[in-house]
Chain A
């Protein structure tokens, strides 16, 4: 359970037609073996794009413009690793599975391609995986088509596919957002359990801080393509340093506490192609001072807990 698994240093993701337009700017972070790192922020902050860059799945218009990525001590080669050592879980289980193939086909094709299993062995392993993600009656489900399954069941299948080849890392991009609240908790419990039993590290992308509190070890807060705060999960919830993180926390319903009005964050995330001078959050920040509008703060703080704010 120790040692760095994924190291990202100075990652830039830019438009293919104009490399000066960057959607992710100089992003650095680590994930240790068996660790759950939550990446939070509103949509448009660069969370998903970062995960796509790690797996070589960036859309046509975007490219990695710079930075070093390494995985398990060697340079990261997304096309070789994905499916084998890096699994992915997408937001919408309804559209992630191919409607034309059975659940079994979609699991076994991977096992056969990556692990070289024979037909019978792949099928046996697929049934095992379906049981592992706690789907009822895996021997029957393996021969059904996705249309027959509920959203929660499909997300379990997607998770089974993500962990099929015993990966070291699973990137889960909003794995519960499309699901009912009761199912959400079950899926998160399943992911946390898989980390315990299989030692898989998870990069959990979400805007739901409730989930983060429940499952994550560390949190990275992103805003407008940058990392603005990074902390162990208890530290962040106890003492958020960045005003944006404070606002995110204020906007999160707390279990147990009676629901008062959630504090909405006024304004929108600025377009990453049209950033204001200085701190990108300054226009929405209620404690901003003149300096915030003039220069962009660098990341500072102790080893475990750092933030990019002049006032932190």
Chain B
């Protein structure tokens, strides 16, 4: 009961954030970087529910556009990471032997470099655009997926239905994609949900350090810009931070709920 509650609450939060992202351009047709009113207006004044920042930009608009950036970056980078992870993990787990050894060394190598640091360096090298940010986050996130998928494949490849596919001469690609992968997908989906949260928080951290696309409004960048006015106008920092917190919370709840729903072993407890 409680568990299923977390699925619904998490889902509702995600729906709300997705709604904000979708409606950003409709409700706020103006550029979120444009000056909307006088700078440092407190929330509630001049008809702006969340006030303005030090450059007079509407914080409410920033919040909506930030939702768009967060979800976009979170989902795109996770999709890419899951893609790489499945490819590496499936090949390593299915073929085993030397291929497995080589791929796992590579995975280990990537896991040895602190992910946030690697993302920073990648962005400094590649420059900060939306695409490079997605690339950098994907490049540091895939090893976890690869390990997970490899483990599932190692277990599933020995199962009877896979063996019989091999006997009737089905091609490796078909066995991997049509037979094993669908059975290995449940834990991957759960991990992906949590990875989206991690990616969003990582993007916020990078933005906070100034490593964001200068043309995209993000929550992390809003916090970065507001941190020097914290003494006079703390709301500039608090509001986008709460948005981040709620979004990450929603994703974690949703992931936890999914895990319970998809994983019968845990559900029995």
Q: Do A and B share a direct contact in the complex (Cβ within 8 angstroms)?
A: no
